Structure 1
Amino acid sequence: MQKKYNIKDSCILLFALLIFFTGIYSLFGNIKDVNLFDLAAYQHRIKGTVTDSNGVPIQGVNVGIKGSSSGTFSDEKGTFYLEAAPSDVLILSYIGFKKLEVAVGSSAELSLVLEEDVMDLGAVTVNAGYYTVKERERTGNIAKVTSEEIELQPIVSPLQALEGRIPGVEVEQGSGINRLAPSIRIRGTNSLRNDGNYPLYIVDGVPINSSPVRSSGALTDVAGIDPLSSLNLSNIETIEILKDADATAIYGSRGANGVVLITTKKGHGNDGKLRFETKLYSGISIVPNRMKLLNTPQYIAMRKKAFENDGVEPTQRNAPDLLWEDQQRYTDWQDVFFGGASEVTDTNLAISSGNETTSFLLGGSYHKEGTVFPGDFGYNKFTANLSLNHSSINQKFHINLSINYGIDNNTLFNSVNLINYALTLPPNGPAIYNGDGSLNWTDWIWGNPFSELYKPQEIKTNSLLSNMGASYEFMKGLKLKASLGYSSLNNEEVIKTPKLAYNPIYWDVVNSSSTHSLVKRLSWIIEPQIQYERNFGKFNLRTLAGFTFQNSQNDLLLSVGTGYSDENLMGNLAAADQVQVQANENIEYNYNAIFGRLGANWDKKYFINLTGRRDGSSRFGPDKRFANFGAVGSAWIFSEEGLIKRLLPFLSFGKLRGSYGTTGSDQIPDYGYLDTYQPTPGPGGLYPTQLTNPDYSWEVNKKLETALELGFVRDRINLGISWYKNRSSNQLVGYPLPAITGFTSVQANLPATVQNTGWEIELSTINFNVKDFSWQTFLNLTFPETELVAFKNLDQTSYRNKYKVGQPLNIVLLYQYDGIDPKTGLYKVKDLNEDGKYNFDDRAIIKNLDRKYYGGISNNIVYKGLSLQFLFEFIKQDNYTHLAALTAPGTYGNKSTDVLNAWTGSENVTGIQKLSQLTTANRAYSNAIKSNLAIGDASFLRLKTLSLSYQLPPSILNRYKIQKCTLFVHTQNLFTITDYNGLDPQGGQVLPPLQTVTCGIQLNL
């Protein structure tokens, strides 16, 4: 029997570990004050080298001895010399970097790395893709998540690390099933096509196909498989999100929906010593929520009352559940189907070293997860990564290599069906198994639900991402660069369906079968560039220009094998009696571009940034393949003005910035402008499958933004407010055609315009920053709004029942709920045109399912070696309630406990219709769940992450020659506060994001 875990167990475990770590801290705190190890008091000369995280020497670092006035500064090579005793502790401080304490010990040479202080705008550098810029000086909207935030979360996809952390970015996990692609929208929905809204993913300069990997089995009802899930999260240094035109226009059409830049870690150090880092954590994941369903006595009473209300006698045909032999049986199907605990294990190892010219990092990881469902299902991931950086002695020539390789093995089944069963099976349902261990098929109206477990879906994915970059500085400020990237993804799926998955009465007419899917994605990119930078007194000029040559190939092979003589051979198509190829696609995509940037500033107060790109795409006809995109961004740091300094002395930083530009989109199927044909079933014939239209062209996305950034009290309080307005027009959508033409649509540009506007607010504060205690708070809040501002002749297209001009895109058209009919006790909806029929002409109620606002608030509290970080995510939204997942009150199948308050008479005021199993009751319920009755408040506040860690003090680590040792507890989705009655307020009646608690250790040697 599987052990059941709940929130209470998780909280008890977390509290026990908190006490444990506090005890360790108290013990070590006492030990460090006692000279147990008899460290010698003699002093010796120490040589130290200080660099940043990129291995660049830092000059002017203040190096002092704790509790002493002795100290020195590092020179231009980052080197310092100091007389100190082995028991001394050095304190290193420098503006823009975090303070570092390190024990001297017996070492004669120390190689020290300072971490950038994320609260210092002048020190933080953000990646804009083709160039970098200081946070203080950026003209575009670029948000950044660091490795420290990513590593706090026991997750699989890098996108999950963004939930609740970045304004303007909506990330929804959607389901707790492993490797399913999270949905991501950067500043709303731009396209009428779902597949036209994916942002651009770039990993170490290599663009990745951002569309989810197609699945042919259990995942067909959801987004698909995440193409980023095979990355090693512990190897990610930063994730940057590019949002406005100034930041994205240099990517042209590829950046229409925003850009996600992922940068992996690099080797560092210049002393030639090997550095080892290992991290291990293990824990459990459970489903955090259950629906309140009827138990057996309540269910039987409900069914009997329904037949009593209808005046119908229960029979074996209309009420088998009331005539089963064992009427006392009770099964909590939610506990049976997804009440287990999934074990989680993650191990990561990294080795790095470097000298003055060369550095490397070699790493690998293993991640394993079980399942909350019954059966032997789970997920395994192996990764390997290499980073190599080399520069010439004179620092003119630089070359770098980055390789990331991942192998995923995932075993799934159709859990969507199992969740539906868990919510609807009668609690007095028959047993799953017979006495001999075989599936019990007796009395199962909908078939034995555990038959789904006999249809495993095995998914194996190999992913390779590699990039090599080289640069050479010909003269001061003039640099030539080249970037070459290659990506490969192979996804193989096998779905086995043996006879055991069917009722034995059908074994004579069914065959065992297997479905095979092979997806291959290959891509290469070459980008030569030239960069020039020069200062003319107070005037600084930075320019770059380059070309992009990109080729992608996407292949799909889908085949089905049937008639295996031995079911042990399923999966081997050679052993099948018959093999049918259902899809065989080979698609090639070519993309070329020329791009450029000109950035200038005067006295580091006035900034302007011009970017442009000319794109060419093979997805358009010969005369429409090229388009131009560009943007202008500007900024004014007004806090540097003398007048402002005198009038507002409390203002430490103030900046106004704005941008305007255009990007495009070619996210449409390939070869859509051509006539296509397929062979007829008989010999010698062809039939058309697609109409030609060589005249459609690029979607155009115009983006406008203004922003104000303020810092107060020496940047202890920082506030950013952004307003944006994006308009996407010339929509690339299939133009509907009358079926009499032989085609339902043809690829074309529709005269529709989608507008996204919104406000983004960011606030960061340093609440305390004293000797042994610091507390930082970060808040982000977004108010988005999407509107279909124009759609010419919308009423004459098939989209008239999906969209309305002046309304958001994510709407549902509903009947108007009119309460419970006092005569019948059943739900009523209004027949607006009074024609006696219910159709889309009667759906006058419009409900917006977009987020009204969303955001997150995180805190980082540090006391000596003890650190606590937590993030709350909040979303204001509406969604379908649990009514849409259940059936009419009184009918076969379990119900929410709400039906206990069902209508019993005209004097009874209730929101639940009369218990009945008649067709009229089903029809009334069906209409009601298509009305505004089925939409409810799905807002929530969720403790997304909570992390508690303890870092052992240097006085203890020095004895064992350990640079760093951290013990930690990480939790995910610890609790959710909501009035929503279903399983999950975001996904509805799907498996909610799992609640995870892990414990681990990190060692740096």
Structure 2
Amino acid sequence: MKNKTTRLTGAALPGLLCLFMSLSALWASASPLQSRVTGSVTDTNDNPIPGVSISLTNTNTGTQTDLDGNFELVASPQDTLRISYIGFKTLLLPVGNQTRFTITLQQDITDLGEVTINAGYYNTTRREQTGSIARVTAEEIERQPVTNPLAALQGRMAGVSIVQRSGVPGNAPSIQIRGQNSLRSGFGNSGNLPLYIIDGVPIDSAPLNSSSGLTSPNLGGIDPLNTLNPANIESIEVLKDADATAIYGSRGANGVILITTKQGTGGKQKTRFNAQIYTGAGVVPRKLDLVTTADYISLRQEAFANDGTTPTESNSPDLLLWDPDRYTDWQETLFGGTAETTGVNLGVSGGSERTYYNLGVGYQRETSVFPGDFKYTKLTANLSLNHRSSDERFKLQLSTSFGSDNNRQFDGSSFVSTALSLAPNAPALYSDDGALNWEDSSWNNPLATLYRESEARVQQLISNLSLNYAITPQLEARLNTGYTLLTSEEVTEQPIRFYNPALWANARSRSIHLSAGRQSWIVEPQLNYRNTWGKFNLDALLGSTFQHRQGSTLNIVGIGYSNDQLLGNLAAAEQVVVADNSTSEYAYAAAFGRIGLNYARKYYLNLTGRRDGSSRFGPSRRFASFGAVGGAWILSEESWMQGLKPFLSFTKLRGSYGSAGSDQIGDYGYLDTYSTTPGGGGLYPTQLTNPIYSWERNRKLELALELGFLKDQLRLNTSWYRNRSSNQLVGYNLPAITGFTSVQANLDATVENTGWEFEASTNLNSGRFSWQASLNVSIPQNRLVSFPGIEESSYANTYKVGESLNIQFLYDHTGVDPETGLYTFVDVNEDGVYNFDDRVVVKDLNRTLFGGFRNQFSYGRVSLDFLWEFVVQDGQQYYSSGVPGRLGPILQEDYERRWQSPGDMASFQKLSQGLDALRTYFRFQTSDGIYTNTSFLRLRTLGLNYELPTEKLGINSCILFLQGQNLLTLTSYRGLDPQSPGTTLPALRTLTAGLKLNF
């Protein structure tokens, strides 16, 4: 068979050429032209990230960012960029018509092995940590317009209870890490306070005293942390268990809070600037429903009728002297204003590959909801400088922060209590001539408080210098040094016009001058050794601590000034009294070591030991040893667990046991002290000696299980802990015959804190949409395990073995007597007398459950973030502070359910001014009848952010944000706020709007 050959003839060539041109045109129309795409990649702190992988999905085309975080590649509008880097969330961005991208990567909370955790003297990761460490990042802190950075942690950490006791800026929040360990409590007592470490430098966490009322029992004094700028904080880690805290020895008994400030980053980067500006307003979120004038006049008349007495001008000016038709909403008048807040934070960072810096300044101003010119202002500055040698053997890190705040606030309890107790028909505040109206001395004008001016200035410097030198690739020497200086100056002026001239004709003006100073230094030389032998890894640390602290307090009162213009000038005072002039000195030394072992990255062992010495004990009791052991087993790395990997991606068991101590008592308590007698004729003892008391001991045990599901997109952590604090350092009460109230001693009492902590988090990404959610739940229990001889001690009426330290002994309330209309109670021993023996009800006021639920949604340039905080607890229900029927209003609810006539089945006793009603009402205040469920669910924060498209303007990022705090509270408590009960100003509901720029 012959082969057939097809030949292209000249006639066929034009047809093929036309076909080729048609196919080319069709290909060109189907494949759009490609163009050059450029961009930059930074983290959330605007630091460039080198080595980020940039690729086109479904292709082999890709590149990486350079040292400045920049990239360039060729793409078409139909392509999608895939941006990925270890430790950060992967992004998918459609190219479209955009040729320039400014990309910000966020840390991936599910990447257990890459997110660095600060453990104090060393770093670890979520995957490898053997201790219990909670962490909050800058992203969660800096957007909240708070004065104190601890306030930003509420509801975000398991086992960490933070209570904002007042809406007055500048006061210290209450914080407990896994419960109360010490019997010592009250203002100025640091027995239950955690250790604060800022960039490696410990600071005195005890609040400062104040003469303006900020140290009242409901508040916490002036917090030294107020001088910090929350916008300059990179992260806050809280160390909770023995493995995490034992390396701090005696200082870590109540937990450790590590605050790390922002640092610059290396690389050949250009100078970068960032700015944050915000403004907002805050109001009291809730007002009480008090009786109106008509009902108030009615209840007052009913009280006189029940008592069978007649009103007089002295006992009832509201009925006989004041306008019966007048009505003033005193809550709106005295604390119904709007508090304005303004903040500005500016920063600049840059440098070379070897030397780089970060510099920032901040300003914050807050006003008050009270009448008058009350305000709080704060100025901050911070500098960090990093340098490393060309051979990478020498590293230097310097960080310095300075803060100065000026507080012209007061605790506000007088305005709040007055607003809740003042008759609605009380007189006008001012007379026709503009002066304070005293209404013929028939009332105390609440605005007289405005003339008692107080101003507190606090300045604090915190500096740290760290030097590192690599002796060999495995051995590194480090020297960490720090210095802190805090000064506080407060002047309170009380002029003559503060007093009612008709009643205080001989009153004298006065001024109170309160000065305090604290300074300390610390030096910590260390050696670090790291080595690997096959699958075996060793990380060892050996170091020592030398710390010295000095403190001083001076309180002077000037009395009698000839003119109010001279107030504050002590030379012009008729009398000068030195109320307090004291100094203290504290020395601390320690040697510590740590050995961290792991094999095949699945078996971990952490051994920690510390030998502490403190000047607060007698010469024979100054030194003590503490230590801990922690271990972890990553089961998911075992071969027999691999079959579960697609579903159960991570499993870790960990546990720890160890001891810590506490020397948080006053200085010189083991010495005899004397003072001169009036006139200087002799000496008299002011303190008894006891040189043999020693360290308080805190033994901690923890077991935990950590799970990760679906490639760690869902994480579940469960922890159980038990802390026992013994050898309690307290003031042992003495009989009056000794001439002293107490002597410092150790009590053979043991306090136990146990609890469960649950944490869950998820992270889902789908294209431009991402969702992060986290939940933390804490179930704590506190109890006094043992206290030999408590029945014969002065603590018998305060504590009870088997119960928590935060209890109340109460009368058993049985309702209202239908015949007499008075509250009734159980007379346990039937002796006709009500005393402590009849207080048989024990009420635990600790939180039984608390936590938070956070969600963050992001789509493209928009993100929404909110946090719900929840607390389960019992507490005092709100009732009028005065006896119902006497001068002052009551809640409308109580007015409607009061007893009115014999036979009534009422829950609120009759209106009366008699002594019987007075006794039963105050007895009711110490009975179980006044206690109720004060649990709450609160929308703690709500934030909305939008990133403007600013690529063509030369701005890396521009974010508009709207932030709300305390927007909604669901509770059965009927007072102002379940977290700060009584007459304390509650935390304000605030709304702020701002702008954040990076360029």
TM-score by length of 1: 0.92
Secondary structure of the structure 1 residue equivalent to 2:89: coil
Secondary structure of the structure 2 residue equivalent to 1:578: strand
CA distance in structure 2 between the aligned counterparts of 1:399 and 1:229, rounded to whole angstroms? 28
User: Against the structure 1 CA distance between its residues 916 and 603, is the aligned structure 2 distance closer, same or farther, given a 3 Å change threshold?
Assistant: same
Q: What corresponds to 2:114 in structure 1?
A: 123
Q: What corresponds to 2:914 in structure 1?
A: 918
CA distance in structure 1 between the aligned counterparts of 2:791 and 2:277, rounded to whole angstroms? 59
User: Against the structure 1 CA distance between its residues 53 and 547, is the aligned structure 2 distance closer, same or farther, given a 3 Å change threshold?
Assistant: farther
User: Against the structure 1 CA distance between its residues 114 and 436, is the aligned structure 2 distance closer, same or farther, given a 3 Å change threshold?
Assistant: same
Mapping 1:6-45, distance limit 5 Å: none
Secondary structure of the structure 2 residue equivalent to 1:374: coil
> Of the candidates 189, 197, 202, which is equivalent to residue 202 of structure 1?
197
CA distance in structure 2 between the aligned counterparts of 1:165 and 1:50, rounded to whole angstroms? 26
> Of the candidates 757, 766, 785, which is equivalent to residue 770 of structure 1?
766
User: Against the structure 1 CA distance between its residues 546 and 787, is the aligned structure 2 distance closer, same or farther, given a 3 Å change threshold?
Assistant: same
- Residue type of the alignment partner of 1:236: I
CA distance in structure 2 between the aligned counterparts of 1:171 and 1:641, rounded to whole angstroms? 40
CA distance in structure 2 between the aligned counterparts of 1:401 and 1:108, rounded to whole angstroms? 40
Deviates more, 1:502-511 or 1:90-99: 90-99
2:995 matches 1:1001: yes
Q: What corresponds to 1:596 in structure 2?
A: 593
- Contact (CA 8 Å) 1:430, 1:443: kept in 2 or not? no
- Contact (CA 8 Å) 2:39, 2:103: kept in 1 or not? no
User: Against the structure 1 CA distance between its residues 264 and 1002, is the aligned structure 2 distance closer, same or farther, given a 3 Å change threshold?
Assistant: same
CA distance in structure 2 between the aligned counterparts of 1:77 and 1:411, rounded to whole angstroms? 46
- Residue type of the alignment partner of 1:672: G
Mapping 1:444-843, distance limit 5 Å: 445=442, 447-647=444-644, 649-766=646-763, 768-843=764-839
Q: What corresponds to 1:992 in structure 2?
A: 986
Higher Rg of the two aligned structures: 2
Q: What corresponds to 2:214 in structure 1?
A: 219
Listed one character per residue, the Cα deviations across residues 851-875 of structure 1 (whole Å, up to 9, x for unaligned) are: 0100010100011111000000000
- Residue type of the alignment partner of 1:519: A
> Of the candidates 52, 60, 63, which is equivalent to residue 72 of structure 1?
63
Listed one character per residue, the Cα deviations across residues 315-337 of structure 1 (whole Å, up to 9, x for unaligned) are: 21232211124110001111011
Q: What corresponds to 1:26 in structure 2?
A: none
Listed one character per residue, the Cα deviations across residues 582-602 of structure 1 (whole Å, up to 9, x for unaligned) are: 100110100000011000100
- Contact (CA 8 Å) 1:105, 1:958: kept in 2 or not? no
**Once the 2 structures are TM-superposed, how far is the Cα of residue 101 of structure 1 from its aligned partner?**
7.6
Q: What corresponds to 1:153 in structure 2?
A: 144
Secondary structure of the structure 1 residue equivalent to 2:400: strand
Mapping 1:962-1001, distance limit 5 Å: 962-989=955-982, 990-1001=984-995
Q: What corresponds to 2:365 in structure 1?
A: 368
User: Against the structure 1 CA distance between its residues 569 and 69, is the aligned structure 2 distance closer, same or farther, given a 3 Å change threshold?
Assistant: farther
**Once the 2 structures are TM-superposed, how far is the Cα of residue 95 of structure 1 from its aligned partner?**
3.3
CA distance in structure 1 between the aligned counterparts of 2:333 and 2:950, rounded to whole angstroms? 47
- Contact (CA 8 Å) 2:603, 2:633: kept in 1 or not? yes
Mapping 1:177-326, distance limit 5 Å: 177-194=168-185, 195=189, 196-221=191-216, 222-326=219-323
Q: What corresponds to 2:20 in structure 1?
A: none
CA distance in structure 1 between the aligned counterparts of 2:780 and 2:442, rounded to whole angstroms? 46
CA distance in structure 2 between the aligned counterparts of 1:277 and 1:179, rounded to whole angstroms? 27
CA distance in structure 2 between the aligned counterparts of 1:914 and 1:240, rounded to whole angstroms? 54
Q: What corresponds to 2:890 in structure 1?
A: 895
CA distance in structure 1 between the aligned counterparts of 2:720 and 2:261, rounded to whole angstroms? 31
Listed one character per residue, the Cα deviations across residues 705-763 of structure 1 (whole Å, up to 9, x for unaligned) are: 00000001111110000000000000000111111011111100001000000000001
User: Against the structure 1 CA distance between its residues 383 and 48, is the aligned structure 2 distance closer, same or farther, given a 3 Å change threshold?
Assistant: closer
CA distance in structure 2 between the aligned counterparts of 1:635 and 1:923, rounded to whole angstroms? 60
- Residue type of the alignment partner of 2:120: G
- Contact (CA 8 Å) 1:558, 1:584: kept in 2 or not? yes
**Once the 2 structures are TM-superposed, how far is the Cα of residue 115 of structure 1 from its aligned partner?**
3.9
Deviates more, 1:645-654 or 1:325-334: 645-654
**Once the 2 structures are TM-superposed, how far is the Cα of residue 648 of structure 1 from its aligned partner?**
5.9
CA distance in structure 2 between the aligned counterparts of 1:631 and 1:622, rounded to whole angstroms? 26
Deviates more, 1:644-653 or 1:92-101: 92-101
Q: What is the RMSD computed on CA atoms of the aligned residues?
A: 2.4
CA distance in structure 2 between the aligned counterparts of 1:228 and 1:299, rounded to whole angstroms? 45
Secondary structure of the structure 2 residue equivalent to 1:563: strand
- Contact (CA 8 Å) 1:430, 1:444: kept in 2 or not? no
- Residue type of the alignment partner of 2:616: R
Secondary structure of the structure 2 residue equivalent to 1:974: strand
2:422 matches 1:425: yes
- Residue type of the alignment partner of 1:947: G
User: Against the structure 1 CA distance between its residues 577 and 853, is the aligned structure 2 distance closer, same or farther, given a 3 Å change threshold?
Assistant: same
- Contact (CA 8 Å) 2:46, 2:998: kept in 1 or not? no
Deviates more, 1:417-426 or 1:217-226: 217-226
Listed one character per residue, the Cα deviations across residues 329-352 of structure 1 (whole Å, up to 9, x for unaligned) are: 001111011000011101100000
Q: What corresponds to 1:851 in structure 2?
A: 847
Secondary structure of the structure 2 residue equivalent to 1:855: strand
User: Against the structure 1 CA distance between its residues 50 and 299, is the aligned structure 2 distance closer, same or farther, given a 3 Å change threshold?
Assistant: closer
User: Against the structure 1 CA distance between its residues 53 and 899, is the aligned structure 2 distance closer, same or farther, given a 3 Å change threshold?
Assistant: closer
CA distance in structure 1 between the aligned counterparts of 2:74 and 2:939, rounded to whole angstroms? 48
- Residue type of the alignment partner of 1:218: G
Percent identity of paired positions between Structure 1 and Structure 2? 52
User: Against the structure 1 CA distance between its residues 41 and 573, is the aligned structure 2 distance closer, same or farther, given a 3 Å change threshold?
Assistant: farther
User: Against the structure 1 CA distance between its residues 451 and 125, is the aligned structure 2 distance closer, same or farther, given a 3 Å change threshold?
Assistant: same
Secondary structure of the structure 2 residue equivalent to 1:421: helix
Secondary structure of the structure 1 residue equivalent to 2:225: coil
Deviates more, 1:101-110 or 1:551-560: 101-110
User: Against the structure 1 CA distance between its residues 143 and 750, is the aligned structure 2 distance closer, same or farther, given a 3 Å change threshold?
Assistant: same
Listed one character per residue, the Cα deviations across residues 762-817 of structure 1 (whole Å, up to 9, x for unaligned) are: 01123x42102111211000000000000010011111111000000000011111
CA distance in structure 1 between the aligned counterparts of 2:871 and 2:583, rounded to whole angstroms? 42
User: Against the structure 1 CA distance between its residues 47 and 965, is the aligned structure 2 distance closer, same or farther, given a 3 Å change threshold?
Assistant: closer
User: Against the structure 1 CA distance between its residues 446 and 844, is the aligned structure 2 distance closer, same or farther, given a 3 Å change threshold?
Assistant: farther
**Once the 2 structures are TM-superposed, how far is the Cα of residue 838 of structure 1 from its aligned partner?**
1.8
- Residue type of the alignment partner of 1:786: N
Q: What corresponds to 1:870 in structure 2?
A: 866
Listed one character per residue, the Cα deviations across residues 657-679 of structure 1 (whole Å, up to 9, x for unaligned) are: 00000000000000000000011
- Contact (CA 8 Å) 1:861, 1:867: kept in 2 or not? yes
CA distance in structure 1 between the aligned counterparts of 2:681 and 2:523, rounded to whole angstroms? 43
**Once the 2 structures are TM-superposed, how far is the Cα of residue 571 of structure 1 from its aligned partner?**
1.4
- Residue type of the alignment partner of 1:875: V
**Once the 2 structures are TM-superposed, how far is the Cα of residue 378 of structure 1 from its aligned partner?**
0.5
Deviates more, 1:524-533 or 1:432-441: 432-441
Deviates more, 1:574-583 or 1:435-444: 435-444
CA distance in structure 2 between the aligned counterparts of 1:125 and 1:685, rounded to whole angstroms? 62
- Residue type of the alignment partner of 2:853: I
User: Against the structure 1 CA distance between its residues 105 and 688, is the aligned structure 2 distance closer, same or farther, given a 3 Å change threshold?
Assistant: farther
CA distance in structure 2 between the aligned counterparts of 1:185 and 1:122, rounded to whole angstroms? 29
Mapping 1:323-342, distance limit 5 Å: 323-342=320-339
CA distance in structure 2 between the aligned counterparts of 1:744 and 1:312, rounded to whole angstroms? 46
